[in-house]
Structure 1
Amino acid sequence: MDVFLKTVGALNDETRVQILAFIAHKGEVCVCDIESSFNMIQSRISRHLKILKDAGFLKVDRRGKWAYYAIRSPLDRFRLACLEEISYLELNLPQNSSTCKGVS
């Protein structure tokens, strides 16, 4: 029950759904790219990313001062089905407008 509620809770926010779709579409993304693409302050983006990570959708790879987010693999069937359903939504995802100096 806890996994279900965490997953559903994480997806109960339009911005988090858009961030998840953005990462799924782009692959591994630096947090600075997410901040600039969504035009949000670091603390707000970090909160959304933490919720998605705690819900089991994301993995993070820290490289120096940069954090890179990607879809966790493997995902269980429920989260995978959620991602698939999100892919069918007609979302207006931002273009990657990075000024990031991180190295992939």
Structure 2
Amino acid sequence: METFLKTISAVNDETRLRILNFIDINKQVCVCDIENSFDMIQSRVSRHLKILKEAGFLSVERKGRWAYYDIRTPMDEFRQSILKEISYLELNIPILKKSCSNEKDGATI
């Protein structure tokens, strides 16, 4: 019951739906690119990502100082069906704006 409620609560917010759909479309996305694409401050993005991760939707991989988020695999049927339904919604999903740079050579990742 607790897992179900946590999952439903995570997707009961339009911003989280948009972020989840954005990550599903763009695949492994750096947190800084989410901030830039959504024009949202880091603390707000981090809060939404934490909720989605705790609900079992996201995985995170650290690369240097950056955190990259992706759709968790494997994922149970319930969450997969939610992702599929989200893809049918008419959400205003921003275009991915790359903004992170590689610390070693200054090149954009």
Q: What TM-score do you get using the length of structure 1 for normalisation? A: 0.96
Moved over 2 A (4+): none
Q: Deviations over 1:12-57 (max 9, x none)?
A: 1000000000000000000000000000100000000000000000
Once the two structures are TM-superposed, the CA of residue 98 in structure 1 deviates from its matched residue by 2.3
Distance in 1 (CA, whole Å) between partners of 2:62 and 2:82 is 26
The match for 1:43 is 43
2:108 matched to 1:101? no
Q: Secondary structure at the match of 1:3?
A: helix
Distance in 2 (CA, whole Å) between partners of 1:2 and 1:66 is 31
* Mean Cα deviation higher: 92-101 or 50-59: 92-101
Gaps of 5+ in 1: none
Percent of paired sites with the same residue: 62
The number of residues matched between the two structures is: 104
| Higher-Rg member (1/2) | 2
Gaps of 5+ in 2: 103-107
Q: What RMSD in Å do the two structures reach over aligned CA positions?
A: 1.1
Q: Secondary structure at the match of 2:37?
A: helix
Once the two structures are TM-superposed, the CA of residue 62 in structure 1 deviates from its matched residue by 0.5
- Larger RCO, structure (CA 8 Å, separation 6 or more): 1
Q: What TM-score do you get using the length of structure 2 for normalisation? A: 0.92
